[in-house]
Amino acid sequence: MRIATWNINGVKARLEGALAWLRETSPDVACFQEIKCTDEAFPAEAFEALGYNLAVHGQKGFNGVAILSKRPLDEVAVRGLPGDEADTHSRYIEAVVSLNGGVVRVGCLYLPNGNPIGTDKFTYKLAWMRRLHDRVQCLLQLEEPMLLLGDFNVIPDPVDARNPQSWTNDALFQPETRAAYRALVNVGLTDAVRACHPEAGVYTFWDYQAGAWQKDHGIRIDHILLSPQAADRLQGAGIDKFTRSWEKPSDHVPVWVELG
């Protein structure tokens, strides 16, 4: 089965592109980030017409995440990342997908950008990563096939940027950010794209500004992390770079894994 993630940067602006991508690649599960709308405003019918069941956690204007699944969603485990009642951002939704003779748990996330550094936005990013770490440690005890996927807003290593030096003052590439991401992976998760594509030049985001796409000034910040039970079934991973050339593209492109 194919499980994919895509920061679509506005479901209203990206509806035709998102539908075209779903028709073309037919993922069994698709996770969206930055839907930028409320649950009520999400164009559910258009996705249901393609055979998807939906779990949406949105808010007005920005953020917002959604899980689409061809198989039934057994349970929407949580809407919103646990650990801070005061956090009103819609950045995490987790659901259990029912399979023939099993389940797979999917955590769809939009990790805070954190810029500019030295502000409460960066503090919020690091606190959010700590809460995500706590959630993952809890989930690993279930010993299920589990995927944590989405826009992590983390450049893990210099190889994940075309021009690493240009990101040295950015929240996505701070030592604290990278350390928190390493700690998360090191609890026992597999970075699926890294495992399947260790080579340089693998990116998932190109800024709209300054001709970043034309110059291939990309970064790899959208990730799929697998629990051991999911990693055992990993058959391949990839990036649907072709969507970045479409009319009205998202600045991110889809990332996917194939599980046996």
Partner DNA sequence: ATGGTTGGTAGCCAA
Contact (Cβ atoms closer than 8 angstroms) between residue 178 and residue 156: yes
Minimum distance of DNA from residue 129's CB (angstroms): 14
Kindly provide the b/e burial profile for residues 25-53, where b requires at least 16 CB atoms within 10 angstroms of the residue's own CB. bebbbbbbbbbbbebeebebeebeeeebb
Pick between residue 170 and residue 258 the one whose CB is nearest to DNA. 170
Q: Say whether residue 210 binds DNA (CB under 7 A).
A: yes
Among 70, 121, 131, 197, binds DNA (CB under 7 A): 121
Contact (Cβ atoms closer than 8 angstroms) between residue 177 and residue 126: yes
CA distances to 30, 180, 183, 187, 189 from 133, rounded to whole Å, are 23, 8, 8, 8, 11
Beta pairing class for 2-7 and 255-259: antiparallel
Q: Say whether residue 37 binds DNA (CB under 7 A).
A: yes
Q: Say whether residue 174 binds DNA (CB under 7 A).
A: no
Q: Say whether residue 209 binds DNA (CB under 7 A).
A: yes
Q: Pick out residues in 49-78 that bind DNA (CB under 7 A).
A: 60-63
Active-site residue, selected from the candidate residues 28, 52, 92, 110: 110
Pick between residue 70 and residue 241 the one whose CB is nearest to DNA. 241
Pick between residue 8 and residue 136 the one whose CB is nearest to DNA. 8
Cα separation, 4 vs 255, whole angstroms? 6
Write out the residues near DNA by the rule CB under 7 A: 9-14, 36-37, 60-63, 112-113, 115, 121, 169, 207-210, 248
